[in-house]
Every structure is written in C-alpha cells, then in structure tokens.
Amino acid sequence: MRLIFKKEPLRRMLQWAQRALFACAVLLLGYCGFALGDAWNFQRRESGELDRLLRDRRMASEGPPQAEPSTAPKGAPAAAGGLIGRIEIPRLLLSAVVVEGIGKTTLRRAVGHIPGTALPGEPGNVCLTGHRDTFFRPLKDLKIKDEIQVSTLEGNFNYEVESLRVVEPDNVGVLAPSGKNVLTLVTCYPFYYVGPAPQRWIVRAKQVIR
C-alpha cells in the first residue's frame, strides 16, 4: 500500500516546523546572551566590591585603632550568595569571584563555596565548585604544581596543585575534612560532554606559605 500526501498541506507543515525551530533557536540564543551578560555584570560588580573592601581594610589597618572594632568572628560563614573572595590561577588566566553556596543562580554567576567545608583561612578542606563550561573550563589544562591564589578579607592564601583525578558524582569523600590546609576544586567531567556530565573532575591543592 502506498501513502500519498498532498503537496500543499505538507509544505505548510514544513513551514510551521521551520518557524518553530527558528523561534526555539532565537529563545535559546537570547537566554545564553542573558546568562553571559548577567554573569559578567555580577563578576564586575562583586569584584569591584571586593577590591573596595580590601582597600578599606588596608586603610583601616594603617590608621588609628577603631573605637568600635567589628564583633564578627574571623572566618564567619557568609550568607547564601554572600561574597567570600576571588580565586585566581595565573598560568591559566583564570580569575573569578567566589560566593557562598552552590545554587543554580550562584553557579551561573560565580564560583561557589560548598557549605559545610572550611573557609579560606580556616584549617581544613576548602571546597569550591564551578561549571565546566564557564568559570572552571580552564581546569582541563591544569597541571601538577600549578599555583592557585585565593584572596579574601581574611588574607591572601596560596596553594599548589598536588593531584588531579576523576571520581563518580556520589564520591563525597573528596569533601571530607582534612587535618591539613588544602583546597579542593570540583567540576563536572568530561569537559566536552553534551548534557549532564556523568563524572567529576577533582583538583586537590595544598596550602603553601610564600
């Protein structure tokens, strides 16, 4: 049996399908543009705020003692989305603001500090995460002994990469507390995988005093 389609209805169906696909493409491009612009604006704003806070603290430390010193404990956890500092990897030209939390909006805009892990300047395992297709994309080119810098209001902390490995997503042992001062970076893997990546790329670095 042979199916026969009239040309005119078929042509109309193809035209509507073409228009629908074009509309979807425009919407996706628009969202990508919005996401990139929002992340760029957030990074610029928060980076400027961090520089201002660092400048104010430096000026305060050089001036006379404050009449009412801050009562905030050193290393106090930031509120969700709160500014923590900046991570930089000089060899890879990576520089990104770090904020508290790992929510969808947070990771779209910045590198996130994983709640429950140590903060930079505290003893233990400082854990940061970022998307493999944005801020942590350069981690694919990281090498052993590369330098990582984390700047916060509590000081500047230097780390040296000591291991790179791939783990399953349920391997939470990489976030476990440590008796040493270490930094753990987490992102999805493989870097060029289409869709939700099945594994995690783990960077472990030890703190060094320079």
User: Which residues partner with 65 through β-bridges?
Assistant: none
Average model confidence (pLDDT) for the chain? 84
Tens of pLDDT, residues 156-171: 999 999 999 999 999 9
Which fold would CATH assign to domain 83-208?
Sortase; Chain: A; (2.40.260)
Give the domain ranges of the chain. 83-208
Q: Is the peptide bond between 190 and the residue preceding it cis, with omega within 30 degrees of 0?
A: yes
Q: What is the pLDDT of residues 26-50, one digit of tens each?
A: 555 554 564 567 888 888 898 888 8
Task: Tell me the C-alpha distance between 100 and 119, whole Å.
Answer: 10
pTM of the model: 0.77
pLDDT band at 60 (very low <50, low <70, confident <90, very high): confident
Q: Judge contact between 88 and 95, C-beta under 8 A.
A: yes
